[in-house]
Structure 1
């Protein structure tokens, strides 16, 4: 049987390139690429008859960003609600492409890109997550924190990725502190590649109230385990519901994202603790099971300071961009090769 893959993505994006390489390594034709700009611009969409269609991230493309959020600096913070409306409309157009088999459920992708809905799904399924609430302003944030007795929280835009606009916020003795990658230019907030700290309450209020109209998801701060004074968490990739790849992310601040200065840590320090490692894998599998129509997920899982408790911080629809990372079974397959293998096995 002849198998043909197609991918919705941004041509030249590393995800598209790495997925194409994984397909070619199996002796199959390069995937047919449907550009996100065509999807969002309303162009007629098509793919080879019977193609297995993978939906990938829009990537970092200025033209695509403008189609999703409107004209402006691609690095700007905010506009998440507009971005989400355009993105989900695009997903609906992709789902309507005739003659293809989708490798990802578009409704599930929509949930994964809404932190409030995703958190609710996980919580309902009994997956360990920090308790949370929605907030519509800085005043509401402070009131709801006070009512719960919480002093430290993470404030997250409802729709976003790569920690854009995320704020690690704490209050103590009337003083506030907010750590974020959002940099105020005097006119707007831009994503920075380094974390910065705001301690003037007026600055924090301005940032929170700027983000609030797009929707905010707030979670109680989960104290994370640390190594040599640096906190860490893990990104665990699942394929067909099973954890297949994992990387430890170590950061100097409250956020461990690799593009914000986080570094890959020693996975063996977690795997060596057999009970903890099994708990991490089981938690990630339970999170992935909430999205059975998704070929792969990227689960961000935190280990508590007791080195026993775990909690899921995020589940990402496009969390598999981890170049050079081999699979946990030792077969030397990267995240894309593992997904291609799973698809071909299931297709056969």
Structure 2
């Protein structure tokens, strides 16, 4: 496993691996991998957890951004790509391959992949390089409301819900603009009504690339808008969290609240609910070699339509959310254990429970799983 020792995700997956009978994973610290240290070698099953933006920026020239600063996102993505190349070159079998992780982490590429596969996504503008170009593109498209997203951002970092008509503009965002023009993440969502200030924010974000989508009017319940995080594991969309907010930003770390899945399911109705889950499975099918993906799905007001907002390579941290009595990590460990059974150690073997035909391509003929004996260390595949 590549992650940070002591990180909650690493600890939860390690516990799930032990409970599933896979033994205790070895952990290769991101801080060491990013500095050229050891990576998992041949014969190892490799789970890659989030390095966190701070760790990536710390590996990039120029000097790392200050804590919470929204800067260097493109350089951080490039550093992740280089690190993933090193990990892949180590010869291990990756549960989520580098190409998938990098595509999910690039909103422009991911949107293009989903759109080409017929997955419903909001319309997007062509490449935007700054405020003037954004306003011109919005006028040409006839759009008054858009979401402006850093191409490589996550967790709502740098996202603006923008309304612009005529000479007036307003933006709702968690971005805090310092007097010197630097941008920082803040847990308080705020509103900007000065076009000059909004333009300065957009222009600064544009240096690292932007993805701009038409505003998708989300459904709501009880006076709060909502969307879903659906984790699809081995083709099965079993774990769902409802995220509700009084602002356009639904991320839970911004002080928003979880909603009730049963209430949303009832409001949507069985046909619309199943169609939404089927879409999440189709998203996972776009990344057939990945054990899991996290899908952010939006129902439209009226519940008749839905669209995918984002896909997350590291979106499986859903504490307390169980499906068939298992959290996301235990479900992954069980799927992995099943895939490692001798009858599944064949080229092209499918994930058990997969509903999409996605294949597990890391199973080599004759390979054995040696992490299941009592006291064994989680080393993954070994030729035998």
Question: Which residue among 294, 298, 302 is the counterpart of 1:302?
Answer: 298
> CA offsets per residue over residues 136-170 of structure 1, 9 Å max, x none?
11001000000000000000000011010011000
**Structure 1 residue aligned with 2:330, among 337, 342, 347?**
337
> Aligned to 2:99, which of 81, 85, 107?
107
1:280 aligns with 2:276: yes
Question: Quick check: 1:260 aligned with 2:254?
Answer: yes
Task: State the Cα distance separating 1:63 from its structure 2 match.
Answer: 4.8
> Quick one: distance in 2 between partners of 1:63 and 1:149?
40
Q: Is the 8 A contact 1:132 1:217 kept in 2?
A: yes
Does the aligned pair in 2 maintain the 1:258–1:264 contact within 8 Å?
yes
2:212 is matched with which residue: 214, 218, 229? 218
Larger relative contact order (CA 8 Å, sep ≥ 6): 2
**Structure 1 vs Structure 2 CA RMSD:** 1.4
Q: Which runs of 5+ in 1 are unaligned?
A: 1-6
- The residue aligned with 2:381 is none
Check whether the contact 1:78–1:165 (CA below 8 A) recurs between aligned residues: no
Matched, 1:198 2:192: yes
**Which of 135, 146, 151 pairs up with 2:144?**
151
Give the structure 2 partner of residue 244 of structure 1: 238
Are 2:41 and 1:22 aligned?
A: no
1:123 to 115, 126, 148: 115
The counterpart of 2:224, out of the listed 230, 254, 258, is 230
1:97 Cα offset (Å): 1.2
Contact conserved, 2:174 with 2:188, CA < 8 A, in 1?
Answer: yes
- 1:9 is displaced (CA, Å) by 0.7
Gaps in structure 2 of 5+ consecutive residues = 342-384
Per the alignment, residue 132 of structure 1 pairs with: 124
Matches within 5 A, 1:163-174: 163-174=156-167
Q: Which residue of 2 aligns with 1:4?
A: none
Contact 2:56–2:80 (Cα < 8 Å) also in 1? no
**How big is each residue's C-alpha offset from its partner over 1:51-103, in whole Å with a ceiling of 9 and x where there is no partner?**
2110110036x5554114642313111211111110110110110113x2211
Secondary structure at 1:236 match in 2: strand
Question: Aligned to 1:67, what secondary structure does the other structure show?
Answer: coil
Paired residues of 2:56 and 2:79 also in contact (CA < 8 A): no
Count, aligned residues: 336
Distance 2:213 2:124 in 1: 4
Q: Is the 8 A contact 1:178 1:204 kept in 2?
A: yes
2:34 to 36, 40, 63: 40
Greater CA deviation, 67-76 or 335-344?
67-76
**Could you tell me which residue of structure 2 aligns to residue 57 of structure 1?**
50
**Alignment partners' CA distance in 2, 1:248 and 1:28:** 31
Give the TM-score of the pair, scaled to structure 1: 0.93
Q: CA deviation at 1:17?
A: 0.8
